[in-house]
Amino acid sequence: MRVTLCQAVLAFAIIINLLILYYVSRLQQQMLHRHRDHVQPSPRLLPSPLRPGITVLLREFEDFENYVPSVAKSFLKEKPEQPIVVAADALPYPPIVLPNVPNVQLVVLKPAPDQPAHVSRPENYVRTEYVALVPDGIKVDSTRQLDQMLEEFKTNQGQVQMVAAPVQSLTPLLCLNLNVSLKEWTAEYSTAPSSKLCSALKGDAVILLRTKDLFNFSAPLAKPLLTSLFIQMALRGWKVRILDVSFSSAHQPLLSSSHNQWKADNRAKANRVQLFRAFGIKRVILEDGKEQWFGCSKETPRCFGTIHDDTPEYLYQNRWTPPCCLKALRETTKYVINILETSGVRYWLEGGTLLGAARHQDIIPWDYDVDLGIYLEDIPNCELLRNVESGSIVDEKGFVWEKAIEGDFYRIQYSEHNHLHVDLWPFYPKNGMMTKDTWMDHRQDIEFPEHFLKPLVPLQFADFTALAPNNYRRFLELKFGEGVIENPEYPNPALKRLEKN
């Protein structure tokens, strides 16, 4: 086929047209990008090294009433280039109108499905070596305040990882000691012996720390902010020093109405519950000795699942029995023993429960149930045990009595919701030995001479006295092996061993 000149010219024109179209669209796209970058200066994906200086970080404020813009302005008035980051869980509503300068930025921590992940990561916005966590409503009186904090921080280097400048208010900033044991799911506050060197604070303060320390915490900006930071610091053995520098408050009280205060208090309470839940802290002892519980109760399910291979899930998490469970087990045991005693059923502490009583007069700190032995022939003396033959019973105190489906024994549950339990194992004497018909696949589940029960002896157990086999050391060594009292071990050492210091 021959190509005419006309056809060639036409083809050439089409190609030129396509090329022009391509360049125009490229240009448009580039302009669009530049425009978008201008609207939202998104942080770089690969952060540059931190530069000297301090970023002011505002994290805790209420959407419905806050002074975030005036706090920002107060810092900018002293130092117009002061970097300020406002970190909110979600886009604040009503909107917060921040000073329109590039060094003041709002981070929304909630990831948006149409945005890359780095947009919601606060560490991409704090690009200075130090960060000052600033409560809402404060006023800066001089440029020197933050600089002075930084100087003091450097002077105390190695001794403290954080410094705090109190916000002047009616209640002074309290210096506390905080002892956190994740193993025992417990945080314990007490009054610190020093008034300046603390492991936790109570009250409002401006906090200064290294940016890399803040963002190396597992939850750097969890709320309540200071509660969360001090728990994580206590776990690292870190300290905070209270400085003589202080800030004043532009709004005392911060919130203008009691209704807003009520809303803020409720939110703070909810945040606290959520924080302790996330950190796995179920028992908090306050500096005045009051206890707060964040764990299971009679109305909630047991806080660990079905046990596999005698090794409850918390042992794999390097934790012991949650304190609420130990408390519920002690309460159930005391209750059951009282019923057995008053109805004339002979019982004794059995297995691991006896071991705990012999070892330290309490439930073994990683145990998950309580075992009692009873005389089979005494069962008819107890109305509840007699009646469970025909189905489970919820008694007047909400405990659930039932005949176990796994064999000939009885189980008393803490409640219908919470299945923490005490097991009753009926034995009967045969040729001087105590025996039974249902055996579990446990080393300690064996026959034993009846003379251990004649007589039964009192033994301290938690806050009451229970009955135990006489000569219980020999009884335990017969069941578990020599030296069992002195050498604690987890129930299934083949799967999980107790770490000994």
Ligand X SMILES: *[C@@H]1O[C@H](CO)[C@@H](O)[C@H](O)[C@H]1NC(C)=O
Per CB under 6 A, residues contacting ligand X are: 179, 181, 184, 212, 216
Cβ atoms of 384 and 401 within 8 Å: the answer is yes
**Quick one: CA torsion of 25, 28, 32, 38, rounded to 10 degrees?**
150
Q: DSSP letter for 494, please.
A: T
How far is Cα of residue 163 from the mean position of the Cα atoms in its chain?
Answer: 24
CB of 479 to ligand X, least distance (A): 30
Closer residue to ligand X in complex, CB, 179/266: 179
Closest Cα to residue 425, out of 471, 356, 376?
376
- Rounded to the nearest whole angstrom, what is the least distance from the CB of residue 219 to ligand X in the complex? 13
Helices 258-279 and 225-236: angle between axes, nearest 10 degrees: 30
252 CB burial (10 A radius; 0-12, 13-18, 19+): exposed
Residue 357: which of 337, 375, 342 has the closest Cα?
337
Q: Which is nearer to ligand X, 60 or 184 (CB)?
A: 184
The smaller minimum CB distance to ligand X, of residues 176 and 384, is found at: 176
User: Rounded to an integer, what distance in angstroms lies between the CA atom of residue 246 and that of residue 243?
Assistant: 7
What are the angstrom distances between the C-alpha of 424 and each of 153, 187, 238, 323? 60, 34, 47, 23
**Shortest Å, Cβ 176 to ligand X:** 12
Residue 191 CB, nearest distance to ligand X (Å)?
Answer: 12
Asked if 438 and 445 touch (Cβ cutoff 8 Å), the reply is no
Q: Minimum Å distance from CB 314 to ligand X?
A: 16
Give the shortest CB-214-to-ligand X separation in angstroms: 10
Distance of CA 127 to the CA centre of its chain: 29
58 in Cβ contact with 88 (< 8 Å): no
Rounded Cα distance between 4 and 492, Å, is 91
Q: How far is the CB of 210 from ligand X (least distance, A)?
A: 8
Name which of 155 and 179 has its Cβ closer to ligand X. Answer: 179
Contacts of residue 117, defined as CB under 8 A and 6 or more positions apart, other chains included, come to: 111
Q: Kindly provide the b/e burial profile for residues 402-419, where b requires at least 16 CB atoms within 10 angstroms of the residue's own CB.
A: eeeeeeebbbbbbbeebe
CB of 199 to ligand X, least distance (A): 9
> How far apart are CB 235 and ligand X at their closest, in Å?
9
Residue found under tokens 């029960």: 453
User: Would you say 181 or 435 has its CB closer to ligand X?
Assistant: 181
